Amino acid sequence: MGARGGAQKVPYTTPEPPEYPTAIDIVNRRTVGALIADTVTPNSYEAAVVKETLLSLQAYQAILEHENNSLRYALGRKQRDYETPINALDVQTNRDNHLRALLLSLRTIRHATDQRMENEREIEEEKRNQLRTKELKAEAKLIAEEQARMKREERVKEKERKKKEKAAKAAQVIKDCEARNALKAIQTS
């Protein structure tokens, strides 16, 4: 009993796993025969039973591997995309007559198929037109931005030109003023 008065825990150790014989990498009649000859007398009945059992298991394993490979291949193939619906052919029929089975002529089916192809072509054409419109809008936007930039540059140049003209005009006014003042000074003296 421990200090607390309860049962003590006994440390539990995991037993060592038993040692199994190593697996044979290549299983064929020769390796199975050599394995049997090493363990049992080769000509006994038990040896024959073990040998046939091992060979049948090997054959069964080969068959299962082949089936697994076939199944993996079948799963790996492209399957139908369930996101895209499969639309039935739009056949013009009498909608009131939905209780009986309909036998459709080849001409009707061909017409419905052609109609579907035409609809798909129109949808593709519409998508292409939308894409083309989008590209044209982007191009027009770039052209408009370029024109706006050019107008800005022209406005800046015009502003600088007017500023220079104004400065030149002011300099001319000052020069004329000084010339008049000098002329007045000469006339008064």
DSSP string of 127-186, one letter each residue = HHHHHHHHHHHHHHHHHHHHHHHHHHHHHHHHHHHHHHHHHHHHHHHHHHHHHHHHHHHH
Token couple for 151: 């107008």
The model's pTM is 0.38
pLDDT at 41: 77
pLDDT at 140: 96
Q: Is the dihedral of CA 167, 173, 175, 178 positive or negative?
A: negative
pLDDT at 25: 66
Half-sphere exposure of 122 (CA within 13 A, CB side): 6
Which positions of the chain have pLDDT values less than 50? 1
* Residues 116 and 87 sit within 8 Å (Cβ to Cβ): yes
* Closest by Cα among 35, 15, 14, 13 to 24: 35
For 62-94, the pLDDT digits (tens) are 899 999 888 888 877 766 667 777 777 777 665
Enter the DSSP assignment of 93.
-
Q: In whole angstroms, what is the distance from residue 97 CA to residue 92 CA?
A: 12
Token couple for 71: 């199944």
pLDDT at 79: 67
pLDDT at 120: 92
Q: In whole angstroms, what is the distance from residue 21 CA to residue 82 CA?
A: 49
* Residues 46 and 40 sit within 8 Å (Cβ to Cβ): yes
Residue type, position 127, single letter: K
pLDDT at 144: 96
